[in-house]
Each structure stands twice: as structure tokens, then as C-alpha cells.
Amino acid sequence: MKHRNLSKIVVLSLCCLLIPAIVFAGGLPREWTEINPAGFEYNGLSPACSCAPGTPDDEFTFFVKGGRKNNLVVFFQGGGACWDYMNCVAAPTYTQYQKEVLAMFSNDMEGYGIFDQTRKDNPFKDWGFVYIPYCTGDLFWGANDASYYGVTIKHRGFVNFQAVLEYLKNNTRYQRNIFITGSSAGSYGATLAFPYIKQAFPWSNVQILGDAGNGVMGGTFSTTGINNWNVQMPSWIFPDGYQSTMTMADVYVDIAAEYPWSRLAQYTTAFDMTQVFFYNVMLNIHNPYIWGEITEALIGTWHLTMKTYTYQTAAASPNYRYYIAAGTDHTILMSPKFYTEKSAGGQFFSDWVNKMIKTPGVVKNPKGWDNLECENCLP
């Protein structure tokens, strides 16, 4: 009799464990679907693209697809940045309007890195996906309509993200794993989005990987420039909001300390020429004629600063790792190189990401997932 009662208890216990997975399973559509967040507002602002002169419209939408597994990738697209009349209006250095349409998305997404569902070695095979376009010039950090000599640019990237987050909270109440990532400008968006997503899904295993967004800054970008965005910082981590003295190393370290059970990571090439270009734009914002003049000294300064930030973050954060690849390429997540890159320690980058996701146990300092850096880093 006791054995029968014990069996009932075990069965009931297992059922209780299974119920949350059934009740809270992701409600995302099984096919790629375009979502228009019409009616949403954040601090009186609705989702929008930049509305820069000459752009077709300011409509913002995003794209979702459910997976077979109870896991979700949230991807922030990149596309430059702007913070001054010179690069917001006169010589734009950012994607000014949304170019993505639903027809661009297919169920297999062959050849598109982490989205490629034809590859068995994809760490994200059968996961659900959220793709967030970028069209505001503010790294997804802004909530402000700025006037540049009478021309209004809608820096509403954070507003757009909040619209996506609201949709996820209403349609995906529980995911076992949430992998937040983004390329270039989207890397910065993913970084500051991570705390908000983790707060919204506290029981999920939430991780962040930044692709080609190391935050080497110069000139007036971190002072007068970035103030045009009205940067939205998670107040429970940064109670004083954005400070001009902050580096991306500071941001990663503070977020990693707030969430010691989550894993954070960054990828870059050693001489990422697009990041070097934007560093030069920062240094020479008022002279667009020399933005493209990339010198060896400039490259060297960016390279050394990038490594300093990376090493500082790793030294202070046991739950953080980096992968510094050889060459000058910019971004990897939507490229076939996601599966062929192995210049850091001879380890395929896709395998390194897989270790980030699947290293057993919820530990502050996961073993087997290492910091890796190229030895012969020149292209």
C-alpha cells in the first residue's frame, strides 16, 4: 500500500513539473510573421523609424517565428548610428528606414548563420526567433525626437524594443532558454535589452552575446552626441542613468554582476574596419570628408582599446567570455562564417557558442567555455 501511494506521489510530482511547460509554452506563430505594434506607446512615443528626409515612411514592424523547442533567440539587427547633424542629416551613417519585408524570411533561411535551419550543427536549430529591424540611429537606446538644425530625427529605438518586449510578454510567457544577441549597432541594443528581458522572464535561462559592438568611443560622442538620444538605462543597475564616463566594459561588468547566473559574451575580429570607421567618425564628426581616411595609427588605437575593454570585463566578470577572431570583417551572426571561423584557438565559433549555451549546470564560472583570441590576427 505504501509503495502504491509513493507511486502516486511521484506521478503527481512529475505532472506538476510538466504543467508549466504545457501551459506557458511559446505562443509564437509557426511561420515567419510580421508584427505591427500599432497602438503601443512608451513615455508618450509610439514605435517608429527615423522619419529622416527622403525616407518612404517611419513605420516600424518586427518579425517572429516559433520553434519546435521551448527556446527563443531575440536578434537585434544593426545598421550604423548617428548623433549629430553631420551624420544624421548631411551625410547619414545609419539605416534611416526599415528595409526588411516578410518576403525576405523563409523557414530554412539557408546561408544566414544562426538563422540557418538546414544545418544540424546550428546551436539554434528548431529554436524560435524574434528579428528586430533597426532604423533609428540610436543603437536601440533612444527615446527622443531630436532636432538637428530644424530637421527632426526620431531616435525611438528603445521604444521599438519595448513594443517587442510587450508582445513577447503577452505571447510567450515562458521559455526555457532565451538567447539575446545582435550585430553591430544591434549588439549594443542587445546588451541593454538583456536586463529588461531577464526581468520580464525571471525563470528563463537568459544569455547575451554581442557581435561586433565593442564600444570604442571618442570625440564628443559620449557627451553632447549621445545626449540627443535620451538613453534609457535599466535603473535598478544604473540608478544615475547614462554617464558620459561609462565605457562598454563598465556596462558589461555591471550587468554581469547583477545577473551572476547568466552568461555574457562578446565577439569581434581583431581589426574590425567598420568599428574603426565609426571610431574615426566620432573623432572627426564635423569633417565627413576624412571619415574614410583610416590610418594605421587609428587602427592600432582602436585595436588596443578594444582589447583593454575586453580584458577588463573578463577580469571582473567570471560569467563573461570573449572570442577575438583574426581579420577585419564586421559581424558574423548572419554569415556562413559563423560555422567556418576558427582563428581563435582553433575552435569553431559555432562550437564556442554551443558551449556557451550547453555547458552543464547553472554556474557563475562555467568550465569548458573559454576566452579565446587569435594568435596571428592580421588578415
| % of the chain beyond a pLDDT of 90 | 88
**Average pLDDT value for the chain:** 93
DSSP symbols for 120-169: TT-TTTT-EEEEE---SSSTT---EEEEETTEEEEE-HHHHHHHHHHHHH
- Could you say which of 3.40.50, 3.90.930, 3.90.75, 3.40.30 is the CATH number of the domain covering 2-373? 3.40.50
For the chain, the maximum distance between any two Cα atoms, rounded to a whole number of angstroms, is 87
Calculate the dihedral angle through the C-alpha atoms of 174, 175, 176, 178, rounding to the nearest 10 degrees.
Answer: -130
Going by pLDDT thresholds of 50, 70 and 90, the confidence category of residue 2 is very low
Going by pLDDT thresholds of 50, 70 and 90, the confidence category of residue 310 is very high
Indicate whether 111 pLDDT > 70. yes
The reported pLDDT for the residue numbered 16 is 39
Going by pLDDT thresholds of 50, 70 and 90, the confidence category of residue 8 is very low
The reported pLDDT for the residue numbered 17 is 38
The reported pLDDT for the residue numbered 5 is 44
CA distances from 35 to 38, 63, 115, 166 (A): 9, 6, 18, 12
